[in-house]
Amino acid sequence: MFGIYFGKYLQDKNLITEEQYKEMLEEIKSARLKMGLLAVVNGLMTEAQAEEVNQLQQMQDRRFGDIAVDKGYLTDEQVGMLLKMQGDQYLLFVQALNDHGYLSLEEIQKELKAYKKDERFSALDLDAIKSSDLDKIVPVFTKETSIPPVMKDYIALMARNILRFIDTDLRLEQTQRINCYHASFMASQELEGEFNFFVGLSGEKDAVLAAAATFGKEEFSQIDEDSLDAICEFINCNNGLYASKLSEDDIELELMPPAMYVKETKIQTDGPMYMIPMYISGKKLELVICLEARWQIN
């Protein structure tokens, strides 16, 4: 995941081409194996056990290793061993840059310092991105102090599920606080209960169609009710996991029926509204959240 962020920065500075950026991302993917496959190859789990855990991941917001430990298929020590075997994404990308002759190690260090400065990252922020751990990366891009913790948790869950069910090439940008949002189309849902909020997904046409095709397992050629219905299903799945998790803390939320908007739509509120840019394979999705105050959609 580090390469997705730093590589885009290098591309924007014309130090590598878009084609080189994409090729290195693909190269790194093949260098990092899924934990289930690693467990099977190392004789720690059967294929049936690995598939069972994969299926459970689709219903639970939990990591493969955590589920496998609870099922008694792996120990914590074995999970740690497998995580180390997956490869350090930061070092893999640095190695790819160097091996292909795009940048020397000295140049990479120089550009890393410039990247940190240009993006106004702290040392801890950069370490979080280097870790390729989404739970550490999301807080880097949700620094807006007015975002309540419960909404930061929601954004993290949405990012994890996009990564899990839609595209592993997920890149976030800084969360923006806004008062009005215009969308050419949108899939959305409202949640009501101990607190109320609206969530919508919109963005570039290609990004929405790609997300709809991947999650809905069907090709779509245009933004219409069918393609937006697939996005609504994804949002409903994500929100169901979110509500279920909160219910464990005795916080009850009710999911309203998802709503889709095929035509130009304007969302406005006097209360908090946040827009979180999420790029999948370089195409922009926009997650929009309105919290508590009544929102208007027209």
Torsion of CA 49, 52, 54, 58, to 10 degrees: -160
Q: Of 16-25, 247-256, 286-295, give the lowest mean pLDDT range.
A: 286-295
Structure tokens at 246: 């909160």
Q: Which residues pair with 288 in a beta bridge?
A: 200, 275
Mean pLDDT along residues 152-176: 93
CATH classification of 144-297, choosing from 3.40.1550.10, 1.10.1740.10, 3.10.450.200, 3.40.50.150? 3.40.1550.10
First to last CA, the chain: 38
Q: Distance between CA atoms of 6 and 28, rounded to whole angstroms?
A: 14
What are the residue ranges of CATH 3.40.1550.10 in the chain? 144-297
Q: What is the pLDDT of residues 188-218, one digit of tens each?
A: 999 999 999 999 999 999 999 999 999 999 9
At 41, the pLDDT band (50, 70, 90 cuts) reads confident
- Residue 54 pLDDT class (50, 70, 90 cuts): confident
Give the pLDDT confidence of 85-143 residue by residue, as tens digits.
776 778 778 878 888 999 998 999 999 999 999 999 999 999 999 888 888 999 999 98
- The answer, as to whether pTM is greater than 0.75, is yes
**298 vs 279, which has greater pLDDT?**
279
CA 69, CA 58: separation in Å to the nearest integer?
17
pLDDT tens for residues 271-285? 889 999 999 988 999
Question: Is the predicted pLDDT of residue 232 greater than 80, yes or no?
Answer: yes
Residue 143 pLDDT = 87
**In contact, 178 and 273? CB cutoff 8 Å:** yes
Rg over CA atoms, the chain: 20
Burial letters 187-223, b for 16+ CB under 10 A, else e: bbbbbeeeebbbbbbbbbeebbbbbbbbbbeeebeeb
Q: Give the distance, in angstroms, between the CA of residue 285 and the centroid of all CA atoms in the same chain.
A: 10
**Residue 33 confidence (pLDDT) above 60:** no
Selected residue with higher pLDDT from 34 and 241:
241
User: What is the C-alpha separation between 181 and 274, in angstroms, rounded?
Assistant: 9
- Per-residue pLDDT at 62: 86
Q: Which two tokens stand for residue 100?
A: 């292909």
User: What is the band of 8 on the pLDDT scale with cuts at 50, 70, 90?
Assistant: very high
For the chain, give the secondary structure using H, E and C.
CHHHHHHHHHHHCCCCCHHHHHHHHHHHHHHCCCHHHHHHHCCCCCHHHHHHHHHHHCCCCCCHHHHHHHCCCCCHHHHHHHHHHCCCHHHHHHHHHHHCCCCCHHHHHHHHHHHHHHCCCCHHHHHHHHHCCHHHHHHHHCCCCCCCHHHHHHHHHHHHHHHHHCCCCEEECCCEEEEEEEECCEEEEEEEECCCEEEEEEECHHHHHHHHHHHHCCCCCCCCHHHHHHHHHHHHHHHHHHHHHHHCCCCCEEECCCEEECCCEEEEEEEEEEEEEEEECCEEEEEEEEECCCEEEC
